[in-house]
Chains A and B, each alone.
Chain A
Amino acid sequence: MAEIPEHLLRRSAEAKAKALGVPVEQLMTEFLGEAAPAAATAAEPVASPASTATTTAPAAPVIPEGVRTQRMLTVVRAKAIQGAPREPSDKVSTWPHLLAIEFVALLVALGLLIVFSVYQDAPLLELANPNEQPNPSKAPWYFLGLQELLSYFDPQVAGVLIPGLGLAGLALIPYVDRNRSIRPADRKFAIMMFTFFVMAAAILTILGSFYRGPGFNFTFPWRDGIFFDL
C-alpha cells in the first residue's frame, strides 16, 4: 500500500475536524496511527486499547499478499461536478434533415440564377467617357435611397451623417434593446421601429430608382419611362 502524503492527511483531518468539531491534532494522530502500522509491517492489525476516551481507530483490515487496495480519501458529492441542468431539447440529426434542405435550397437558387442569366444579359453601355456625363447619372441601386435623400438634405447630412448614423445605429441595436424576450407580442415597439426604418429605406430606394428622371427630377415611370440600370 502506497504511503499517503502527509499534507493530504492533514487536509483531510482538517476537513473532518471542522465537520465533527474535534481538534485537528487528535484526528491527525488517529490517521497516522492507523496508517503507520499498516505501512510499516502490514502484518498484525494493532488492536487499539478500548480504554481510550475518544473514538478509537478501527483496526486496519488484513490485506492478503498481492492484492491492491484503494483508500477513499474523500467523497465529492455528485451534484457539485455533474449538476449541469440537462434541459429537455427537441433536436434532429443535421444529416439528413438539415443538410438535405440546404442542398435543395442551394440547387434551387443556382437553378433560378442560371435561368435568369441565360435570358437576361448584364448591361454594358458604351466606353467610359469622363467628358460626357449621362443624364441622369445614378449610383448603384442600393445607394439610390441615399441619392434620393441628397435631393432633400445638405450633402453632409444625406451623404455622411445619415448613412453613418444608420450603420452605427444598426450595429448598436442589441445594446440598445434591453428587452430579453423574443416573443413578437413583447417587442411591439422594437418591431415597429425597425419596420418603419426598413420601409423608409425601401420607399426612398424605390423613389430614387424609378421616380427620378433627367436632372434627378421627379418623373412617373409609366409616363416618361424608367431611368434605371442594374
Chain B
Amino acid sequence: MANGTNSGNGKTTLGERLAGVGDRIQGSEAWESIFRPGSPFRKGYTDSPRNRSYVVMNNVLYHLHAVKVKRHGVRLSYTLCLGGLTFFMFIVLTITGIFLMFYYRPTSPEAYVDIAALSTDVAFGQLVRNLHRWGAHLMVITVFLHMTRVFYHGAYKPPREFNWVVGVVLLFLTLLLSFTGYLLPWDQLALWAVTVGTNMGGYTPVFGDQVSFVLLGGIQVGGPTLLRFYVLHVLALPFIIVIFMSVHFWRVRKDGGISGPL
C-alpha cells in the first residue's frame, strides 16, 4: 500500500491491510456497478436527505415504496406491518417450498413416504417442513388480520375500492393455496380434510358433480387428485397470486400510499 498510514515501525499492520482491502473492494468498479449511487453499501455513504431518497429511488425497492411516506403510516400501531408480513410469509413459504420439492414425489404411496423421510433422512428436513406448515397457517392469519385492519381504517374507500377487491381475490387465492397444500402429506388428516372440503364444492347447484370431478380428477380423492393439487399448489396458484400481488402493491402506491390519518 503506497499511501496507507503506517504504524511507527514502517510496516503495515494486519488491521490496516484488511481495511485497505475493504476499501479497494468497495471502491472497485464491480462493487459500484452493483450498488447504485446512494446505496448505504457504497463507499463514502453519508446520511443526507439526498442519499435517503436515493436509497429507495435507485433501488428495486422503488417498486414497493415511495421515497417519502406519511408520518402516521410509519407508526407500528397503524398497520402492525400486517400486509408486509403477509408478503414476507409468502417469500418464506416459497423458499421452504422449493426445498421441500427436492424431496417430494406427488404419487400415491410415495408422497407419504417422502414426507416421513424428511424427519429422518434429510438434514433440517423436519424443521423446513414445520416452517412451511406453520408459516402457511400464519399467512392465512395475517391475511385475515390485514383485511380487518384495512376495514377498520376505512382504507377501502375511494380511491382504493378496487384494491380492496384485489385483496379479496388474494384472500381467496391464499385459502386455495393452503387448501391444496393440505393434501400433499398424503396422510389420513390430509385425505379426509380435503375430502370434507371438496365435498362442499360438490354441492354447487346444476354443475356440482362436474366441479367436483374437475377438482378431484375422479369421483373421489385419489392419486390424480394428489397430482392435480400438487401442480396447482407449486405452479398454477403461485403464478396467479404473484400477478395479483403485483397489482395490489402497485395500486397501494398509485392510490396515494397508505390511507389516513383517521
Closest CB in chain A relative to B186 CB, distance in Å: 5
Question: Is the beta-carbon distance between A98 and B203 smaller than 8 angstroms?
Answer: no
Question: Is the beta-carbon distance between A181 and B154 smaller than 8 angstroms?
Answer: yes
Closest CB in chain A relative to B215 CB, distance in Å: 13
Q: A93-B52, A106-B88, A180-B157 are in contact. Are A133 and B192 (CB under 8 A)?
A: yes
Question: Is the beta-carbon distance between B221 and A182 smaller than 8 angstroms?
Answer: no
Q: How far is the CA of A137 from the CA of B200 in the complex (A)?
A: 14
Q: How far is the CA of A74 from the CA of B85 in the complex (A)?
A: 55
Question: Is the beta-carbon distance between A160 and B70 smaller than 8 angstroms?
Answer: no
| Complex interface: chain A residues within 8 A of B188 (CB) | 125-129, 132, 134
> Within A72-131, which residues are at the interface with B (CB < 8 Å)?
89-99, 101-102, 105-106, 109-110, 113-114, 116-118, 120-130
Question: Is the beta-carbon distance between B164 and A173 smaller than 8 angstroms?
Answer: yes
Indicate whether A155 reaches chain B with its CB closer than 8 angstroms.
Answer: yes
Question: Is the beta-carbon distance between A182 and B192 smaller than 8 angstroms?
Answer: no
Question: Is the beta-carbon distance between B154 and A127 smaller than 8 angstroms?
Answer: no
Indicate whether A218 reaches chain B with its CB closer than 8 angstroms.
Answer: no
Q: Is the interface of B mostly helix, strand, loop or mixed?
A: helix
| Complex interface: chain A residues within 8 A of B123 (CB) | none
| Complex interface: chain A residues within 8 A of B196 (CB) | 137-139, 143, 147
The closest CB in chain B to the CB of A157 belongs to: B203
Indicate whether A187 reaches chain B with its CB closer than 8 angstroms.
Answer: yes
Question: Is the beta-carbon distance between B168 and A170 smaller than 8 angstroms?
Answer: yes
The closest CB in chain B to the CB of A173 belongs to: B156
| Interface size, A (range) | 35 or more
Partner pick for A171 among B53, B65, B127, B165, CB 8 A cutoff: B165
The closest CB in chain B to the CB of A141 belongs to: B137
Q: How far is the CA of A61 from the CA of B197 in the complex (A)?
A: 89
Q: A93-B53, A160-B200, A160-B204 are in contact. Are A127 and B112 (CB under 8 A)?
A: yes
Indicate whether A22 reaches chain B with its CB closer than 8 angstroms.
Answer: no
The closest CB in chain B to the CB of A122 belongs to: B133
Q: Which 9 A-B pairs have the closest CB atoms?
A: A182-B154, A174-B161, A159-B200, A117-B130, A137-B192, A128-B191, A95-B55, A122-B133, A105-B81
Seen from chain B, the residues whose Cβ lies within 8 Å of a Cβ on chain A are: 49, 52-53, 55-56, 61, 65-74, 76, 81, 84-85, 88-89, 92, 109, 112, 115-116, 119, 126-127, 129-135, 137-138, 140, 148, 151-158, 160-161, 164-165, 168-169, 171-172, 175, 178-179, 182, 185-193, 195-197, 199-201, 203-205, 208, 220-222, 259-260, 262
